[in-house]
């Protein structure tokens, strides 16, 4: 049962309508996550701003989708697993095998696996990672800016996982179970 409801077009005030229109222009639809976060236009604007900034960052979309899948699996967020499985397959062009591996913090190549293992440690230690873990991800070929973006992508996905888990957002993508 949904606990926090998605704002419909009929319920949306002018500020919400403007934000929903921007989301729809970018994605072609306004997913229930955006409509739920849109209960607070400030929260939705903050989310959209950080998401857009990271989209212009150093990490490729395929890695960002793998992070989203791993974090959603870790947090048991079926909304985000569903959304990011769809995006991973249709936007990042990841195979079913790569999607499954990402949910286990694994990948087919050493560099991506190092990033996902670092992401796992960020999650499990709540950011209190070992010095050796930072050294390992740097040794795998990531620079310091990319490491910062790895952490911020974790935080962004934890944000949406928590909103969806609290709200019990209605899933409007092909459903994937945690």
Domain extent at residue 49:
14-55
Position 155 scores a pLDDT of 98
What confidence tens digit (pLDDT) does each residue in 27-64 have? 999 999 999 999 999 999 999 999 999 999 999 999 99
Q: Say if residue 50 is in the same domain as residue 119.
A: no
Position 90 scores a pLDDT of 96
The domain that holds 142 is classified in CATH as 1.20.1290.10
Mean per-residue pLDDT for 60-73? 98
Q: Say if residue 94 is in the same domain as residue 121.
A: yes
Does residue 176 lie within any of the structural domains? no
Q: Say if residue 89 is in the same domain as residue 148.
A: yes
Q: Say if residue 19 is in the same domain as residue 37.
A: yes
Closest to 69 in 3D by CA, of 53, 57, 81:
81
Does residue 4 lie within any of the structural domains? no
Q: Say if residue 118 is in the same domain as residue 34.
A: no
Number of structural domains the chain divides into? 2
Q: How confident is the model at residue 78 (pLDDT cuts 50, 70, 90)?
A: very high
> How far is the C-alpha of 67 from the C-alpha of 84, rounded, in Å?
10
Q: Say if residue 70 is in the same domain as residue 125.
A: yes
Q: How far is CA 34 from CA 15, 68, 89, 172, in A?
A: 13, 16, 21, 11
Q: How confident is the model at residue 102 (pLDDT cuts 50, 70, 90)?
A: very high
pTM beyond cutoff 0.95: yes
Query: Burial, 2: exposed, middle or buried (Cβ in 10 Å; 0-12, 13-18, 19+)?
Result: exposed
Residue found by looking up tokens 């990271």 in the block: 54
Q: Say if residue 120 is in the same domain as residue 145.
A: yes
Q: Say if residue 46 is in the same domain as residue 86.
A: no
The chain-wide mean pLDDT, for the chain, equals 98
Position 53 scores a pLDDT of 98
On whether the CB atoms of residues 61 and 154 are closer than 8 A, the answer is: no
Does residue 47 lie within any of the structural domains? yes
Q: Say if residue 50 is in the same domain as residue 65.
A: no
Does residue 6 lie within any of the structural domains? no
Does residue 75 lie within any of the structural domains? yes
Q: Say if residue 50 is in the same domain as residue 68.
A: no
Q: Say if residue 70 is in the same domain as residue 106.
A: yes
Does residue 46 lie within any of the structural domains? yes
Q: Say if residue 45 is in the same domain as residue 108.
A: no
What confidence tens digit (pLDDT) does each residue in 117-162 have? 999 999 999 999 999 999 999 999 999 999 999 999 999 999 999 9
């Amino acid at each position: 049962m949904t606990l926090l409801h998605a704002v419909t077009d009929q319920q949306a005030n002018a500020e919400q309508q403007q934000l929903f229109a921007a989301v729809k222009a970018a994605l072609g639809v306004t997913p229930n996550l955006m409509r739920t976060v849109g209960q607070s236009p400030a929260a939705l604007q903050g989310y959209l701003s950080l998401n857009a900034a990271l989209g212009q960052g150093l990490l490729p979309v395929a890695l960002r989708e793998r992070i989203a899948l791993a974090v959603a699996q870790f947090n048991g967020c079926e909304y985000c697993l569903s959304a990011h499985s769809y995006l991973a397959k249709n936007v990042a062009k990841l195979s079913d095998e790569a999607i499954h591996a990402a949910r286990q913090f694994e990948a087919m190549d050493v560099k991506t696996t190092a990033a996902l293992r670092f992401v796992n440690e960020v999650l499990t230690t709540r950011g209190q990672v070992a010095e050796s873990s930072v050294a390992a991800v740097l040794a795998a070929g990531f620079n310091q800016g990319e490491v910062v973006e790895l952490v911020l992508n974790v935080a962004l996905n934890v944000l949406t996982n928590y909103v969806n888990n609290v709200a019990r957002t209605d899933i409007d993508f092909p459903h994937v179970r945690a």
